[in-house]
Amino acid sequence: MSDEVKDVYSVIDLSNWKSVTQNVSPPPRLAVIGDPVAHSASPQLHNPALQHCGIDAQYVRVHVQPSELPEAIKLFQENDFLGVNVTIPHKAEVAKLIDQVDPLAERIGAVNTILFEDSQTLGFNSDAPGFKQAIRDEFFVDLRDMRVMIVGAGGGAGRAVAIQCALDHCERLVLVNRTTEKAKQLADELRKDFEDDRVTGPGRRLAAIGLDDEEILEEQLSQVDLIVNATNLGMKRSDPSVLPPSLLQPHHLVYDMVYKPANTRLMESARAAGARASNGLSMLLWQGAISFEYWFNRTAPVDVMKQGLRSVFPD
């Protein structure tokens, strides 16, 4: 008879993995690691996909503290794991422990997907291409045609989506951050990606501004199509809209990377202004689908994964 899978395993469990999981079926051979990790919906996203594809493995959560990270990676390898997803706060640190980091993850400076292959560890970033696919899915547009504003460009997620926008040669990129200096530093890093003679109408193709000057925000908002919230604001129901509601316009497409709650103040303000708005669930879905493709070198069953996510986050 098969034992119940635990909600969250620990690194101590990993060091004794064969006996801890000897009666667990299918065998846990994929995991998400983080600190905390109990909230992660990745098992509900991946397990239906594994079952659908007839893969004899299951996906679990493992709580890994920063000091345990090197040991955890070694133990995953020793215990024949196929791959691991990495979440907060390990995405940057884990890149230093991986044998080969692919160029996109290297440029972002963050690995969220590890593939164990022939005693090698390979690192990828599926957040950035997951965002790109989510924008296509939600708004039927491509980043390359968009004038984009990223609010929270100084954080990890903001950096990943800014680099994806730069690689896709979006028409304009406006980096906004509470700490303006961080947005300016990122703009300096991306400047070479925006040095061409593309005709874009008024305004420079790359700008970095603070969140506190409403006049400058208003001027920039009139010259962007897609607004991305990559800040933590919106995760608490009491959080205000990250942008002043009066500055949102009907032509805006608003993508809030927050997905819990399903509707943030920013999204509500956008809809009230006649704009379209979406939460970040589609990015969660697509980063998972792209990780699955790295692990199994086959197309992910995205509809099955979407249904799995709906069981955790009903509409």
* Selected binder of ligand NAP within 57, 258, 267, 300 (CB under 6 A): 258
Q: What is the CA radius of gyration of the chain?
A: 20
Among 43, 83, 129, 280, binds ligand NAP (CB under 6 A): 280
Which residue shows structure tokens 């000057």?
213
Taking CB under 6 A as the rule, does residue 235 contact ligand NAP? yes
Segment 5 to 64, residues that bind ligand NAP, using CB under 6 A:
none
Q: How far is the CB of 46 from ligand NAP (least distance, A)?
A: 14
Query: Helices (H), strands (E): how many in the chain?
Result: 13, 13
The residue annotated as part of the active site, out of 6, 18, 74, 91, is 91
CA atoms within 13 A on the CB side of 241: 18
Provide the residue count of the chain.
315
Among residues 6, 136, 178, 271, the one that binds ligand NAP under rule CB under 6 A = 178
Tokens for 63, please give them.
Answer: 């709580």
Active site residue 91: yes
Q: How far is the CB of 55 from ligand NAP (least distance, A)?
A: 23
Q: Which of residues 133-162 bind ligand NAP (CB under 6 A)?
A: 152, 154-158
Torsion angle, alpha carbons of 86, 286, 169, 165, to 10: -50
- The contacts of residue 236 (CB under 8 Å, 6+ apart) are none
CB of 45 to ligand NAP, least distance (A): 11
Q: Which of residues 91-130 bind ligand NAP (CB under 6 A)?
A: 127
Least Å distance, CB 239 to ligand NAP, is 8
Q: Given candidates 185, 223, 232, 263, which one binds ligand NAP under the rule CB under 6 A?
A: 232
Of the two residues 141 and 235, which places its CB atom closer to ligand NAP in the complex? 235
**Choice between 75 and 128, CB closer to ligand NAP:** 128
Q: Does 287 bind ligand NAP (CB under 6 A)?
A: yes
Q: Are 210 and 176 in contact (CB under 8 A)?
A: yes
- Segment holding 289, helix H or strand E: helix 281-296
**Minimal CA–CA distance to 304: which of 34, 10, 29, 48?**
48
CA angle (117, 121, 127) in 5-degree steps? 105
Q: Does 259 bind ligand NAP (CB under 6 A)?
A: yes
Give me the residues paired with residue 148 across strands: 173, 226
Burial class (CB in 10 A: 0-12, 13-18, 19+), 54: exposed
From 26-34, 39-47, 175-183, 194-202, span contacting ligand NAP (CB under 6 A): 175-183
Nearer to ligand NAP, 20 or 153 (CB): 153
Q: Name the residue with the smallest CB distance to ligand NAP.
A: 155
> Pairing state of beta strands 113-117 and 83-86?
antiparallel
Complex with ligand NAP: residue 39 or 251, whichever CB lies closer: 39
Please give the helix or strand (H or E) that residue 23 lies within, else none: none
Contact between 177 and ligand NAP per CB under 6 A: yes
Q: Which 8-state DSSP code applies to residue 78? A: H
Instruction: Please list the active-site residues.
Output: 91
The residues binding ligand NAP (CB under 6 A) are 88, 127, 152, 154-158, 177-179, 182, 211, 230-233, 235, 257-259, 280, 283-284, 287
